[in-house]
Amino acid sequence: MQIEHVSRLARPLSPAHPASDSHADRSPALEQLCREIDAAFAAAEAGPRASFGQRVRLALQRAIADPGVLRPDQRVGNPQNYCRHLLAADPLNRYAIAALVWEPGQASPVHGHRTWCGYAVMEGTLEETLYRWDTAGHCAVETRRHARPPGAVSYVDAGRGAIHQLGLPADAAARAVSLHIYGVAGEQIATHVNDLLAA
């Protein structure tokens, strides 16, 4: 199983500043994405949860339409494992935003989600393998694979209803970059998102 590399170059986390972002380091598009996620939470308090997921998807679509949403250092990969760059963390610990950089042949483990999450593909074409949970066999069973080209957006709620594996095929010509939002505090991005499963 691959262990992902989590970079905090984009947003240093320290005991002195556990809940603060350096807003000066954020692009205008990233600032707008944070405002839109904040607005999605405000709207969810007054309406159905489905509206929240739709708002997250639309916010991701708008963010990736701006090529300046990420700085060059937030697009740097790791030759050993796919890499997460933490971009922003909500001061109320409701969400964290990260850029994932995939080199050819790198993939996430098969996983469900312990929290809601959404992602959008910015560069390259990822491959997503979907699974269903087999209660009797206590394992994930592959159901289908499909390409996730630039512009593809996904949102899922927590649970084993959306088990998948995401990765970049080994024969890809170049890296891929995706933008992700997870319903966890920034400090929990590597530990409280994925429900790792046997396939």
Q: Residue 40: is its pLDDT beyond 80?
A: yes
Reduced to 3 states, what is the DSSP secondary structure of residue 13?
coil
* pLDDT-based confidence at residue 12 (cuts at 50, 70, 90): very low
Q: Residue 87: is its pLDDT beyond 90?
A: yes
119 HSE (CA, 13 A, CB side):
24
For position 49, what pLDDT does the model report? 61
Reduced to 3 states, what is the DSSP secondary structure of residue 113?
strand
Walk me through the domains of the chain, giving residue ranges and CATH numbers: 5-196 (2.60.120.10)
Please report, for the chain, how many H helices and E strands are present, in that order. 2, 11
For position 172, what pLDDT does the model report? 98
Q: Residue 5: is its pLDDT beyond 90?
A: no
Nearest CA among 36, 31, 27, 70 for reference residue 177: 70
Q: Residue 10: is its pLDDT beyond 80?
A: no
Q: Residue 150: is its pLDDT beyond 70?
A: yes
For position 46, what pLDDT does the model report? 81
CB atoms within 10 A of CB 101: 26
